[in-house]
Amino acid sequence: MKKSKIVLFGVSLLIAGVYAETDTLNPMISEQSPGSAASGNVIIKTDTIIRVDTIVLSRDQYERIRERIEDSLETALERFEDSLEAAQERIEDSLEQLERQQDTLDASDLASKLHFYREAFTEKISKSRAQGYGGGVVFQPMLLGLSVKPVYDLARRDKNLKNCQFPDLTEGYKPVLVLGALLYGGVGQGVRVGFGGWSGDIYFASKEVANDSVMVLGVNTTFGGLLVEKAFLRKNLNFVIGGMLGGGNLTVNPKWSTGAFESFFDFKFDEEKEVKAPFAAVELHTGLTATVLPWMHVGADINGHFFLSVNGFGSFRESFMTVNPGLRLRLVLGNLG
């Protein structure tokens, strides 16, 4: 503070009017004397006079000037501090903006990479699909028109079953919901090789007999085999034709329910017995699927199952051959639809 006051005091003195004026007299050249003319010397005399005017200030005037100077300096200092704070805020805002831009750039870069990998994966899958390589898993719920004539013949001839009347059991077809799956791989040129199968159940109840007893026939059909398909591609559509070679079982499980009852849930079944008729089978199908995503396809096919049993249900030794049409939903996960 002492140094600043001394500086302020000096500035105030200058502002108060310390003036300096310098008068320089022109050089005077003396006349050449007779004696000096021979020697050729010139005598030059220079006189300089400095005059200083001094303004005398009262104490009050000095204090007012000093206060004005201090106020000016304080105002300048405050403005400088405000400018410094504003500059700091601008720097902080710039840093935050740079961080946001960096985050945006990182997110954009990540999104760009994900997009690149997805495009590359999609292109690879599409290329493999066009070439016929890859694979797929097919979930295939199917509505099967099952020929129940073999079961009808069994119920007519078996000594325990022929005494019961089954109103719903005929020589025709019954709709059966079967569930199954297929797994295949592409070997090129649209050819696919794999395996799969399905299974489904249907029940027939007899009329009531003595003691409110009821006979219930549970009929289970199971099929599985090797699959060969040929696919024809057109844009996002897959036209499929193929077949399966395999076999299965037609199983009949008769159950007695004894005692009075009011609903099916009151049944109390006696000991279970079953008879099976193994068969060889050929399945042919044709259908269409649409590519929803590179790895998912949805479609349907119509099919026919040809069952051939040489020994029938065993004890009767009656062979049978049936044709069983079906309508199948195909939900495919994989690059080959």
Residues 196 and 309 in one domain: yes
Query: For residue 147, is it within any domain?
Result: yes
288 domain residue, yes or no: yes
In a domain, 197, yes or no: yes
Q: Are residue 50 and residue 141 in the same domain, yes or no?
A: no
Q: Quick one: angle between helices 59-131 and 2-17, nearest 10?
A: 110
Separate counts of helices (H) and strands (E) for the chain: 4, 13
Do both 91 and 136 map to the same domain? no
Q: Are residues 82 and 146 in the same domain?
A: no
Low pLDDT (below 70) residues in the chain: 1-55, 105, 115-132, 210-211, 258-272, 315-317
pLDDT in tens, 5-48: 444 444 444 444 433 333 333 343 334 444 444 444 444 444 55
Q: Do residue 136 and residue 56 come from a single domain?
A: no
Q: Structurally, how many domains does the chain consist of? A: 2
pLDDT score recorded for residue 124: 62
Q: Kindly report the number of other CB atoms within 10 A of residue 38's CB atom.
A: 9
pLDDT the model gives residue 211:
67
Would the pTM count as exceeding 0.85? no
Q: Say how far apart CA 283 and CA 303 lie, in whole Å.
A: 7
Q: Residue 203: which CATH number? A: 2.40.160.20
Could you tell me if residue 126 is inside a domain? Answer: no
Q: What pLDDT, in 10s, does the model give residues 202-214?
A: 999 888 776 677 8
Q: Would you state the pLDDT for residue 159? A: 81
Residue 102 lies in a domain: no
State which residues form the domain around 231.
Answer: 132-334
Distance CA 161, CA 273 (A): 12
Is residue 114 situated within a structural domain? no
pLDDT, residue 122, reads 63
- pLDDT at position 132 is 67
- Do residues 55 and 162 share a domain? no
- For residues 219 and 329, membership in a common domain is answered with yes
Say yes or no: 75 and 197 in one domain.
no
Q: Is 36 among the domain residues? A: no
